[in-house]
């Protein structure tokens, strides 16, 4: 496998300068910051990512205020007490994107969050304590115990709220395949283990977060050339 220094150098070249690359990188939240997130925050982000899957993100985002109104700001406590017939009524509310199968995930994921919080003090504590060197284990947990959180949905929600994770974006997948790190289905156990091992090795070499490493790999391949034009104008 390539050394981190070579991957980093290529990303710097593609972005025009090390300064430009660093401006594009973002760090995850610390454990102390993560545990301040409420269970409701997690339910909201899981729901957002579930609905964004297969839809234009802009459409979901434009209706998000309506989602928050209809579902009581994603209060886990309130949603767990909601009778099934009320859920059906809410699923047909014009303020949201009306998709009953996806609406059902709200109460299902609320239940998962509640169960985890009962065992670990809070859902955020559970997430914060999960080691990034086995982040695919957390992905698997969300897929198994949550509703529609498999594939990239769970990982993207984790990233959105600040949990340190790499992402199997198109650019990252392209890199992993080009370098023969994975050769089968993207979400197979074999591929996920190989991807985790790759990022663990990069972390050993660099000391950077999984999030930063994932971005650096992505910025070194594909068509993304964010920052080049700005650099040329400097």
Q: What does the pLDDT read at residue 38?
A: 98
Residue 103 has pLDDT above 70, yes or no: yes
How far is residue 120's CA from residue 126's CA, in Å, rounded to a whole number?
Answer: 6
Burial label for 185, CB within 10 Å (0-12, 13-18, 19+), is exposed
pTM of the model: 0.93
Q: What does the pLDDT read at residue 231?
A: 36
Query: Nearest-CA neighbor of 95 among 67, 124, 118?
Result: 67
Q: What does the pLDDT read at residue 165?
A: 98
The CA distances from residue 135 to 105, 141, 146, 158, 209, in Å, are 23, 10, 16, 10, 12
Residue 226 has pLDDT above 60, yes or no: no
Q: What does the pLDDT read at residue 25?
A: 97
**Do residues 1 and 201 touch, judged by C-beta distance below 8 A?**
yes
Write out pLDDT tens, residues 143-195. 999 999 999 999 999 999 999 999 999 999 999 999 999 999 999 999 999 99
Write out pLDDT tens, residues 2-45. 999 999 999 999 999 999 999 999 999 999 999 999 999 999 99
Structure tokens at 212: 């930063």
Q: What does the pLDDT read at residue 234?
A: 33
Q: What is the number of other CB atoms lying within 10 angstroms of the CB of residue 132?
A: 18
Write out pLDDT tens, residues 33-80. 999 999 999 999 999 999 999 999 999 999 999 999 999 999 999 999
Residue 232 has pLDDT above 80, yes or no: no
Q: What does the pLDDT read at residue 99?
A: 96
Residue 233 has pLDDT above 70, yes or no: no
Q: What angle do CA 53, 56, 60 make, to 5 degrees?
A: 80
Q: What does the pLDDT read at residue 130?
A: 98
List, in sequence order, the alpha helices (H) in the chain: 4-15, 18-24, 31-34, 39-52, 57-62, 64-70, 76-80, 84-91, 100-120, 123-129, 135-145, 153-160, 170-178, 189-206, 210-219, 228-233
Residue 223 has pLDDT above 90, yes or no: no
List, in sequence order, the alpha helices (H) in 130-185: 135-145, 153-160, 170-178
Query: Span 97-120, mean pLDDT?
Result: 98
Q: What does the pLDDT read at residue 220?
A: 94
């Amino acid at each position: 496998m390539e050394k981190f220094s070579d991957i980093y150098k290529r990303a710097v070249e593609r972005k025009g300068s090390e300064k430009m690359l660093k401006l594009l990188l973002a760090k995850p939240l610390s454990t102390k910051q993560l545990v301040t997130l409420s269970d409701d925050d997690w339910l909201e982000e899981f729901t957002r990512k579930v609905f964004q899957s297969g839809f234009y993100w802009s459409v979901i985002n434009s209706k998000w205020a309506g989602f928050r109104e209809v579902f009581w700001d994603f209060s886990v406590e309130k949603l767990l007490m909601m009778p099934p017939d009320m859920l059906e009524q809410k699923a047909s509310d014009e303020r949201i994107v009306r998709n009953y199968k996806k609406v059902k995930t709200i109460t299902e994921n609320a239940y998962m969050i509640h169960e985890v919080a009962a065992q670990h003090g809070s859902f955020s504590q559970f997430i914060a304590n999960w080691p990034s060197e086995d982040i695919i284990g957390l992905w698997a947990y969300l897929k198994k115990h949550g509703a529609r959180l498999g594939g990239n949905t769970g990982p993207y929600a984790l990233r959105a709220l600040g949990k340190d994770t790499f992402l199997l974006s198109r650019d990252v997948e392209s890199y992993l395949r080009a370098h023969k790190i994975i050769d089968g289905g993207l979400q197979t156990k074999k591929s996920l283990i190989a991807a985790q091992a790759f990022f663990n090795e990069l972390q050993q070499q660099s000391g950077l977060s999984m999030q930063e490493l994932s971005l650096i790999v992505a910025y070194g391949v594909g068509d993304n050339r964010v920052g080049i034009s700005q650099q040329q104008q400097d």
